[in-house]
Structure 1
Amino acid sequence: MADALPWQQALWQQLASRRQHAHAYLLHGPAGIGKRQLAERLMALLLCQRPTATGACGQCKACQLLAARTHPDHFILEPEEVDKAIRVDQVRELVGFVTQTAQLGGRKVVLLEPAEAMNLNAANALLKSLEEPSGETVLLLVSHQPSRLLPTIKSRCQQQACPLPTRAQSLEWLAGQLPEMAAGEREESLALSAGSPLSALKLHEQGVLAMREQVVEGIKKLHKQQSSPSQLAEGWNGVPLLLLFDWFCDWAHIILRCQMAGEEVDLGAADMHKVLQYLARKSTPSQLLSLQDWLLAHRQKVLGKANLNRVLLLEALLVQWAGLGGKA
């Protein structure tokens, strides 16, 4: 069973104490706060043959089968490849599972994550199962961006906002996960993950601090004309595209805030202070607003799994960024 997360305790007690459950839940909130863990705990509880007040017993046949990932009455649906869409034929397989009789005589449980990864045809194929699930079936949809779901999907689920951890809770949890890591590095990793501790852990495992250093150094070289946009776009191949867009969106916002406030305050992003101060002086608000519009539009395309040429996209971004300092 998934580990309990401290900031989920109140919600978990509420869910675990229910005598009757909805046929479909939509667990939503920012990425990296433990929604998948919550869904897995709820799945274990719903399938357990001897549930307790605190959750699944962990000892019965159903719990043992689930732990071994061989429980016949559970179904996990997620993209077949990272950052790809959930396709209609995958949902049709899920629909076939929902129409079957539970082999252990209890509930059937489906876990679908992320729900917004379903393309339009896949989402429409799921609607009937959401509206009229067969037998004792419970569907658990996990969404990082519920605004991207069809209204008809959301209306057929009991929507449950998942609690956000406080900064202190996040840092305490990260200290338990990464005891060998310096406190300052844990704080930096959490800041780079927008305060989401599980994202911070995942990015740490991917080497986020080294990625950030590579990107920041590249930007400094760009403004000194020591590297070209095309060279940097090729060199950043190992940095997640969405992470790059998040950083550039944040930096553009900081520059614009400096310009609007008329002073350099609360810059954040300590590794980029000098660059952002320089660009706040050299660029105009209209340039920043235009760049922000471009960033947000293309970030949505990245989120929507559009078929984009990564190198050309980053090169276009860096050409515009260099233009803020008067060099393109």
Structure 2
Amino acid sequence: MADGILAWQAGLWQLLAGRQQHAHAYLLHGPAGIGKRDFAERLMALLLCQRPSLEGACGACRGCQLLAAQTHPDHYILEPEEVDKAIRVDQVRDLVDFITQTAQLGGRKVVLLEPAEAMNINAANALLKSLEEPAGNTVLLLVSHQPSRLLPTLKSRCVQQACPLPERQQSLDWLSAKLPDLPERSREELLALAAGSPLAALQLHGAGALQMRAQVIEGIKQLHKQQQSPSQLAEGWNALPLPLLFDWFCQWAHLILCCQMAGDAAAAGAADMHKVVQYLAQKSSPAKVLALQEWLLAHRQKVLGKANLNRVLLLEALLVQWASLPGSR
């Protein structure tokens, strides 16, 4: 759990931590990487603390000590058993069994579920009854990065709470404290890649995203110069995360369209792809770019939905379409 509340969460913390009565279920939602999980863990600690204050859990009572040791009998964390996998219905059934039990320490039971959109349809349906009428003094904290993917019936049973996004300078200050040895320009590039989400930017740094992006852009340039084929590039990108690749290509397709519609070079986006975006905006037909964008968005949803896809064939299909953009205006 985070040592302290993040600067941009202070207002929301005051709002929720100061409540005498809590809802039975909160849906904490917002873009990935803005600290929702840290906030939820801090709120869980407060709700289980035997001597809470507006600042948070006391850290010294029996409840806090048990939670710190991950042995508190009245807390439950539900998340995918493997990274990027679905939360299955049998996991939710185990959770429902926990909810129906009496709190062993005589206070609340608290559940943290993240990410909520990882539940498949059967799992989400299995949770609905407990969301509507949780047994005893139970508070469920659902964290979602993509609330649009949740069942309307699930969302309607929760108090939906949008989590605040940090201002750009707050994000840069936070990143500077976390990555003091990284050049300022690199921190700015990471934050731009993370769409302004500082915790996501830190995660991208740990994954080597700047190096991966440089590799992808160099490959695209070689593709247009016919120095590499789509199949060669698809094989060479085998270790790169598909969600990241699809995010970048969706963004670039959007920027090409912006350049075409606005006729403005400033719409070409980040400097590393500026020339490529401008070139494709000039040489491609809007109809072909729109068709590619539609394909990208559809397959991005499949990637995010953990569909069973042939990775190499998927990337090859993407690159064949990308390479065919210039011409036929």
Name the TM-score class by shorter chain. over 0.9
* 1:2 paired to 2:2: yes
Aligned twin of 1:281: 282
Name the structure 1 match of 2:16: 15
Q: What is the aligned residue count?
A: 327
How much does 1:233 deviate?
Answer: 1.3
Counterpart residue type for residue 30 of structure 2: G
SS for the counterpart of 1:76 is strand
Q: Distance in 2 between matches of 1:263 and 1:194?
A: 22
Q: Residues 298-323 of structure 1, C-alpha deviation per residue, up to 9 Å, x if partnerless?
A: 11111211111111111110110000
1:92-241 mapped onto 2 (5 Å cutoff): 92-241=93-242
Supply the distance in 2 between the matched residues of 1:248 and 1:286 (Cα, whole angstroms): 17
Distance 1:196 1:112 in 2: 21
1:15-94 paired onto structure 2 within 5 Å: 15-94=16-95
1:246 corresponding residue in structure 2: 247
**Does the 8 Å contact 1:107/1:136 carry over to 2?**
yes
Aligned equivalents of 2:184, 2:172: Cα separation in 1: 8
* Greater alpha carbon shift after TM alignment, 239-248 vs 18-27: 239-248
CA distance in 1, matches of 2:99, 2:147: 23
State the AA in 2 paired with 1:237. N
8 Å Cα contact 2:124/2:154 also seen in 1 = yes
Letter in 2 for 1:90: Q
Higher deviation after alignment, 254-263 or 121-130: 254-263
Retained in 1: the 8 A contact 2:285–2:327?
Answer: no
SS at structure 2 position matched to 1:72: coil
Question: Distance in 2 between the 1:47 and 1:245 partners?
Answer: 40
Deviation per CA, 1:181-232: give whole Å up to 9, x if none: 1110000000011111000000100111111111011111111111111111
Specify the alignment match of 1:266 in structure 2: 267
Structure 1: unaligned runs, 5 residues or longer: none
Give, in whole Å, the separation in 2 of the partners of 1:262 and 1:149: 38
CA contact 2:48–2:64 (8 Å) conserved in 1 = yes
CA RMSD of aligned residues (A): 1.1
Matched to 2:9, the amino acid is Q
- Distance, in Å, in 2 between the alignment partners of 1:205 and 1:326 is 39
> Is the CA contact (8 Å cut-off) linking 1:223 and 1:325 kept in structure 2?
no
Supply the distance in 1 between the matched residues of 2:267 and 2:157 (Cα, whole angstroms): 43
Aligned equivalents of 2:184 and 2:323: distance in 1? 34
Name the SS for the 2:269 alignment partner: coil
Do 1:7 and 1:169's aligned partners in 2 also have CA atoms closer than 8 Å? yes
**1:68-101 Cα distance to aligned partner (Å, 9 max, x none):** 1111111111111111111000000100110111
TM-score using structure 2 length = 0.97
SS at match of 1:306: coil
The alpha carbon displacement at 1:265 in A equals 2.2
The one-letter code of the counterpart of 1:29 is G
1:128-156 deviations in whole A, cap 9, x for unaligned? Answer: 11011011111000001111111110010
Which amino acid is 1:12 matched to? W
How far is the alpha carbon of 1:326 from its aligned partner?
Answer: 4.5
Q: Is the 8 A contact 1:116 1:146 kept in 2?
A: yes
Distance 1:149 1:306 in 2: 17
1:237 alignment partner, SS class: coil
The whole-number CA distance in structure 2 between the counterparts of 1:258 and 1:52 is 53
1:2 corresponds to which letter in structure 2? A
Contact 1:78 1:114 in 2 (8 A): yes
Percent identity reads: 78
Unmatched segments (≥5 aa) in structure 2: none
Structure 1 residues 225-258: Cα deviation after superposition (integer angstroms, max 9, x where no partner): 1111111112112221111111111111111111
What SS does the corresponding residue of 2:165 show, helix, strand or coil? coil
Which moved further from structure 2: 232-241 or 247-256? Answer: 232-241
Q: Deviation at 1:58? A: 0.8
Question: Which one is further off, 118-127 or 222-231?
Answer: 222-231
For the residue of structure 1 that corresponds to 2:214, the secondary structure is: helix
When the two structures are superposed, what TM-score results if normalisation uses the length of structure 1? 0.98
Deviation >4 Å, runs of 4+: none
Aligned partner of 1:182: which letter?
A: P
Q: Secondary structure at the match of 1:265?
A: helix
The amino acid across from 2:321 in the alignment is Q
How far did residue 263 of structure 1 move?
Answer: 3.5
